[in-house]
Amino acid sequence: MSQNRSHAVMAQRAEPHDSLDFFPTPPWATRALCWHVLREIFGPTEDMSVWEPACGIGAMAIPLKERFRRVYSSDVHDYSHIWPGQERVTDFLLHGSESPCIETQGVDLIVTNPPFRLGVQFARRALEAPFVRRGVALLVRTAFLESVERHRLFTDHPPAVVAQFVERVPMVKGRLDRKASTATSYAWIVWARGQTDTRMRWIPPCRKAFDRDSDWPVQGSPS
């Protein structure tokens, strides 16, 4: 029997209920957020702080460090044996999971690629946290814009910008893979304090400009 390669089937990303749903973000996609989206909404970010609460192996946190003064990194799973930059092992969805520094000083932004099945919970936790000063950015499948549950989220918390990638952002479970391909479409959803008139914009072709050889694991090394 031949494989069903229809766009609808290939775009699915179903994970078991207890899965970590660990799909590392190609670093160029985070640089695209910083350059094409965050600058437009918030201005320069070099003096800002950001928390990446699903940091995994640091694929998103590392490029964030290029643009932010302070990047806090945590995850529910311990990846520090692969990426020493992980500072805490903690469940972001639990109130009180923030570090004492974030609790007392606050953080400007939360930026992350949440587990898809927990995307709404991640969004509400971040948007309703009193220590987040300026906003939240989530990398999600474009299909995240659908469903009644998410409509309630967007009604309660209208985003400032939905930024759709015009290029595919290939992600592979458990590792970074430069040669991967995908039928799944992704977008950044960005909320900004005081901005409730949602705008749609497109992230132009930029993988070639933002991709770096050093972003990808050397063949045979841990990813």
Distance, CA of 201 to CA of 180 (rounded, Å) = 26
Beta strands in the chain (DSSP E): 49-52, 70-75, 88-89, 107-112, 132-141, 161-165, 186-192, 199-203
Closest CA to 38 of 71, 67, 8, 73: 67
Distance, CA of 81 to CA of 2 (rounded, Å) = 40
pLDDT level of residue 20 (50, 70, 90 thresholds)? low
Out of 3.20.20.70, 1.10.1060.10, 3.20.20.20, 3.40.50.150, the CATH code matching 21-210 is: 3.40.50.150
Mean pLDDT for the chain overall:
90
State how far the alpha carbon of 93 is from the alpha carbons of 73, 97, 145, in Å.
15, 7, 21
Mean pLDDT to the nearest integer, 47-64: 98
User: Which residues, 6 or more positions from 165, have their beta carbon under 8 angstroms from its beta carbon?
Assistant: 29, 32, 185, 186, 187, 188, 202, 203
Statement: residue 9 has pLDDT above 90: no
Higher local confidence (pLDDT), 11 or 217:
217
Mean pLDDT to the nearest integer, 144-155: 95
Cα angle 163, 94, 158 (rounded to 5 degrees) comes to 30
Distance, CA of 57 to CA of 174 (rounded, Å) = 9
Mean pLDDT to the nearest integer, 152-159: 97
Residue 186 in 3-state DSSP? Answer: strand
Contact at 8 Å (CB) between 60 and 32?
Answer: no
pTM of the model: 0.89
Q: According to the model, what pLDDT value does residue 219 have? A: 59
Statement: residue 118 has pLDDT above 90: yes
pLDDT level of residue 2 (50, 70, 90 thresholds)? very low
Which region among 143-152, 157-166, 171-180, 211-220 has the lowest average model confidence (pLDDT)?
A: 211-220
User: Which residues, 6 or more positions from 187, have their beta carbon under 8 angstroms from its beta carbon?
Assistant: 139, 140, 141, 142, 144, 145, 162, 163, 164, 165
pLDDT level of residue 172 (50, 70, 90 thresholds)? very high
Statement: residue 21 has pLDDT above 90: no
Q: What is the distance in angstroms between the CA of the first residue and the CA of the last residue of the chain?
A: 33
Residue 44 in 3-state DSSP? Answer: coil
